[in-house]
Amino acid sequence: MEGILVNTAGGIACGDDFSVSARLDPGADLVLTTVAAEKVYRSDGPVSRVHNRLELGAGARLAWLPQETILFDRARLRRSFEADLAADAALIVAEITAFGRAARGETLEDALFEDVWRVRRAHRLVYADTVRLEGPVSALLARAAIGGGARAMGTILDCSPGAEGRIEEARACLEAAGPGGTEAAASAWNGHLVLRLLGPEVGSLRERVARFLSAYRGVPMPRVWQT
């Protein structure tokens, strides 16, 4: 089953506070995505917040596959992702972030982006990741030790049972998905699998993420990704 999240406001403006909560009953199988890319507009000071909260019952399976988030210059966003999984639940998450509007050649001269992920299995923390960029974000990403000039970033997390053992398969799928000008790597530990991708623009990175996920999951991407 596919579910599509819709932001009827058309984007996230200064000070907005959005929350999404989803609970999957035991044995449920769901793909959640968004109808379009999410735009985060410039702010005159207030920080916008997005809270995503998921709960998966025994044997439930969820693929969280929203389309990309696009940060405008002077955007200020704090986003959190929390998932509580039953011992045998399966979760795959993919998030893509574009730093500026590529078509306009926009750079982020002054912005805030904070992205906090926490995943618990059987009430025990098994994955924690925090990305925080503040100030001249594009200049920070231009540094070799931070982003190497990247203007887009993708993160894919597989917290399904057996995910750690699929590391070589994931690397093969990633290689087959083609570079498209992007840099990517995969790691596995503590029972989960993580991929990070960086690219010079969001279009090619999005395509590589989609090709990887289609191969790795063995099913096509949600229909809205193909429009």
Domain boundaries, the chain: 2-220
Distance CA(146)–CA(178), nearest Å, equals: 23
- The pLDDT score that the predictor gives to residue 65 is 98
Q: Is the pLDDT of residue 8 over 90?
A: no
Average pLDDT score, the chain: 96
Which pLDDT does position 128 carry in this prediction? Answer: 97
**What is the reported pLDDT for 180?**
78
Q: How many helices (H) and strands (E) does the chain have?
A: 3, 14
What is the reported pLDDT for 179?
A: 81
DSSP class per residue in 151-207: SEEEEEEE-STT-GGGHHHHHHHHHHT--TT-EEEEEEETTEEEEEEEESSHHHHHH
What is the model's pLDDT at position 89?
98
pLDDT in tens, 36-85: 999 999 999 999 999 999 999 999 999 999 999 999 999 999 999 999 99
Residue 9 scores a pLDDT above 80: no
Residue 46, pLDDT score: 96
pLDDT of residue 227: 73
Burial letters 58-90, b for 16+ CB under 10 A, else e: ebbbbbbbbbbbbbbbbbbbbbbbebbbbebbb
Counting residues of the chain whose pLDDT is more than 90, the rounded percentage is 93
Q: Specify the pLDDT at position 84.
A: 98
Task: Check pLDDT > 90 for residue 10.
Answer: no
Q: How confident is the model at residue 14 (pLDDT cuts 50, 70, 90)?
A: confident
Q: Tell me the pLDDT tens digit for each residue of 120-165.
A: 999 999 999 999 999 999 999 999 999 999 999 999 999 999 999 9
As a residue count, the chain comes to: 227
Banded model confidence at residue 12, pLDDT cuts 50, 70, 90: very high
